[in-house]
Each structure stands twice: as structure tokens, then as C-alpha cells.
Structure 1
Amino acid sequence: MASTRILGVTGGIGCGKSVVCAYLAQLGAEVFDADLTARSLMESDERVRQEVTRAFGRESYREDGSLNRKWLASQVFAEDSRLEELNGIVHPKVAEAFGILRNRFEGGLLVHEAALIYEAGVENRLDAVCVVTAPKELRIARVMARDRVSAEKVLARMSRQLSQEEKAGRADVVLVNDSDMAAVRSKSRRLYELAMSGEGLSFENFRFTRQL
């Protein structure tokens, strides 16, 4: 049976980590999207729904039962303690879902994509972590175009996350996404090859030594 390598991919809002993970998937990696899983659980898991409603009010869900993401964001980004409260409800279920996938994974590269790998304390469950970075101005422009929000709102979201510099300082691999799609595709391939090569990734072997 082929060996399994588990790579975390994270980065601040607007860095382009989802683009990197999409390329890794094209190359054959299995990608677990923790943020997408969290949103799915908030809609599909009855216990999570009850806890979210209890903590943040009935407005958390629309009349059709779908998650009212705009309302919930207005609540959790108002103060750090509210974001921590939501994470405390959802993260254990996300970890459980990832554990199920990891246990049935039969070899190759398994990617754990999440905005909050370090904040959630899951890095030591992974073989290594890649932090995707980009210049601040570029990140702001990307999110403004994607979410149709003001620069002020993007900056407010950034302030709720660990700084890009702190994440990069803790990373095993840093992938700089500051150019065009061809460049990030090439770097993603190099990341995939690095993850699958030789003895594989480990915190001891790769910490602070690789920048793509």
C-alpha cells in the first residue's frame, strides 16, 4: 500500500490557498476543505444547528433552513469572543469528519485546507503545513472583487486572523502567490512533488527551509 502524507494548507484571507488546493487536487491529491465542511455541518448537523441558534439567535438561519452567513458574520466578527464561541461549536465536528477521512485514506497526498490550522491547534496532527502568502494590497483587492465588500471590511476580517508573518514564521513550506495563474500552478506542482518525494514531509526536516 502506498504511504500517506498529510499536508495542511492555510493562509490569510485573499492569499489564494483554495487555488493552490485546486491545483493539488488536479495533480491527484485528496483535498479536505475544512471551511466548506464547517458550513455544511452548520446546515446539515441538527445538533450544530441547535447550538448555533442558541448562541447567535434564530436569525442565524433563513426561513428555508439555509445558513444566514451574512447575519452570522456580522455577529462573529463583532468581537473575538464570539468567533471563538462559533469555532468551539463547529471545530470538534470538523475534526471528527477529517479523522474519518484520514482513517479510510489509502495512500497518496491528503490535503487539509483550512483558514485556521494554527488557530485551531491542528498542525501537530499533520505531517507539515504550507502557508500561502501574498502582498497585503493584492489580498485586499482579491477579496473586494470576490465578496463585493469594502477595503475596511476586508481589513477588519484580516485583523481577526493571525498575521501572515506569524503564520509564515511557523510554516514548513511557504508558497508566495503574488503573480499570475501560471506561476501559482507551477509552484503548486513543486509543492506536490515535494510532498510526495523521498522520505516525505516532516516538521523536523522542512521547518523554515522551503519557500516556493
Structure 2
Amino acid sequence: MIVVGLTGGIGSGKSTVAKLFEKWNVPIYIADIEAKNIMNTSETLQKKIIKNFGENSYKNRKLNREYLANIVFNDKKKLKLLNSIVHPEVFKHFEMFKEKYRQNSYIIYENAILFENKSDVLCNKIIVVTAPTEEKIRRVMDRDNCSREEVIARMNNQMSDAEKIKRGDFIIHNNNKMELEAEVFEIHKKMLQISEKNV
């Protein structure tokens, strides 16, 4: 089974691309969603986060995302610390996901900070999704109901598209919905071919 990393900057449209792969019954692991689930359900993790970021990190035993985001997106050291606490648990969880779908030709591992947190080592191939900067900013402002400045602050904590493109095996330019579907289908066919050769 092949692990295909799916990454791209905030607002690039990774989730849209992931949904298109789902149409071909490809199992998708969305690291961000799984990380939030683990942060909400693991008592060990909750204790570590409260110890490092304060009691306000949780409200009624649920992660206080706004509070944490305000801390980590304005302080790269704090962001690094949070990632170092959460990511080992996500990696463990992902190993169980891989085991569950080991009969599949390939699975998708979607992670916005695939390169930044060295998750690319888990992947055999990597897809990078890009979109024009202004388009990304507009999408995130609409989606998260936040200011332009907040979006730019979050972008500044991520690796540039140019750097990601250098490291990717497949590049998807998310500008046009019809073209996007065709691009995803082409990659899907290639992954099935590679998987067959590896059997």
C-alpha cells in the first residue's frame, strides 16, 4: 500500500481535492481533524497542553481553539511546542489507520504542515495543492470569518508554495473546478499503476 501525502498552504483547497479522491473510494486521513479529536479526547494530551499553555486552553473539557490559536499563531516557538506535543500522538493514530486500510492500493494523508512537521517521511508520494495568494486569502476570510491580517499571520507560519512545489511529486493548481477534477483523476490512475507495479 502506498501512502500519498496531500498538502498545500491555508486556503489552497486541500479539502476540496481530498473530497474528489473520496469519489474513487480512496481512504483519506485528515491530520488536522484527527489532531483536534485527539486533543479533545486524550487526557494525557490535555494535561500536557494545560501545563504548557494554561487552564484556558480548555473550556468545559473541550479545546479552546481561539485561545490557543491567538497564542501559537503569534509565536513560532509556542507553535513548535504545541506541534511537538500533539504530532507524536497523531502519528500513532495514523499507524492504526494504515493498518486498517492496508489492503487498499493507496491512501491519502492530508496535512497542511506536512513538510514543516516532517510528516513527509511517512509518505511515498506527495501532492501539493496551490492557488493564487489573493484567492487563498479570500477563501479563508470567508470560511473562518477572520480578518485579512489574521490570514496573513497564519500564512507566514507555513512554508511558501514555491518551497512546497520543489518537494512535491504532483502539483495541482486549484484555479478551475473542471480542470481540478481531471487533474485528480489523472493522479488517481497513476497511483493505481504504481501500486500494481509494487505488488
TM over 0.5: yes
User: CA 1:110 to 1:195, structure 2 compared with 1: closer, same or farther past 3 Å?
Assistant: same
> Is 1:122 matched with 2:119?
yes
Q: Do the aligned partners of 2:140 and 2:151 also contact (CA within 8 Å) in 1?
A: yes
Deviation at 1:122, TM superposition (A): 2.0
Pick from 91, 107, 110 the counterpart of residue 107 of structure 2. Answer: 110
Which secondary structure state, in structure 2, belongs to the residue aligned with residue 157 of structure 1?
A: helix
- Return the offset for 1:184: 1.7
1:68 match: 64
Q: Map 1:25-174 onto structure 2 (within 5 A).
A: 25-62=22-59, 64-105=60-101, 106-174=103-171
What's the TM-score, normalizing by structure 2? 0.94
Q: Percent identity?
A: 32
Partner residue, 1:20: 17
Whether 2:198 is the aligned partner of 1:182: answer: no
User: Per the alignment, in what secondary structure is the counterpart of residue 137 of structure 1?
Assistant: helix
Cα distance between partner residues in 2 of 1:200 and 1:161: 35
1:42–1:198 distance in 2 versus 1, CA, 3 Å: closer
Deviates more, 1:107-116 or 1:90-99: 107-116
CA change 1:127–1:201 in 2 (3 A) is farther
**Partner deviation per Cα, 1:27-60 (whole Å, 9 max, x = no partner):** 1100001011111111000000111111111111
Structure 1 runs of 4+ aligned residues shifted over 2 Å read 198-202
Q: Following TM superposition, by how much is the alpha carbon of 1:26 offset from its aligned partner in structure 2, in angstroms?
A: 1.5
Gaps of 5+ in 2: none
Q: Distance in 2 between matches of 1:87 and 1:7?
A: 21
TM-score normalised according to structure 1 size: 0.89
Distance verdict in 2 for CA 1:94–1:198, change over 3 Å: closer
Q: Give CA-to-partner distance per residue, 1:55-80, whole Å, 9 cap, x none.
A: 11111111x22111111100111110
The alpha-carbon distance between structure 1 residues 199 and 109, as it changes in their structure 2 partners (threshold 3 A), is closer
RMSD over aligned CA atoms reads 1.5
In the alignment, the residues of structure 1 paired with residue 197 and residue 24 of structure 2 have an alpha-carbon distance, to the nearest angstrom, of 17
SS in 2 for 1:32: strand
Secondary structure, in 3 states, of the residue corresponding to 2:2? strand
Look up the SS of the partner of 1:118 in the other structure: coil
Following superposition, the deviation at residue 158 of structure 1 comes to: 0.3
Q: 1:201 to 1:59 in 2, by over 3 A?
A: farther
Which residue identity lines up with residue 146 of structure 1 in the other structure?
A: R
Gaps of 5+ in 1: 203-212
User: What number of residue pairs does the alignment pair up?
Assistant: 197
* Residues 199 and 59 (structure 1), Cα distance of their counterparts in 2 relative to 1, 3 Å cut: closer
Distance between the aligned counterparts of 1:125 and 1:57, measured in 2? 32
Native 8 Å contact 2:74 2:153 kept in 1: no
Which AA in structure 1 matches 2:70?
S
1:206 maps to what in 2?
Answer: none
Q: 2:194 and 2:58 mapped to 1: Cα distance? A: 48
Deviation at 1:201, TM superposition (A): 9.3
What's 1:5 paired with? 2
Paired with 1:67 and 1:166, the residues of 2 have a C-alpha distance of: 32
1:194 and 1:200 in contact (8 A); partners too: no
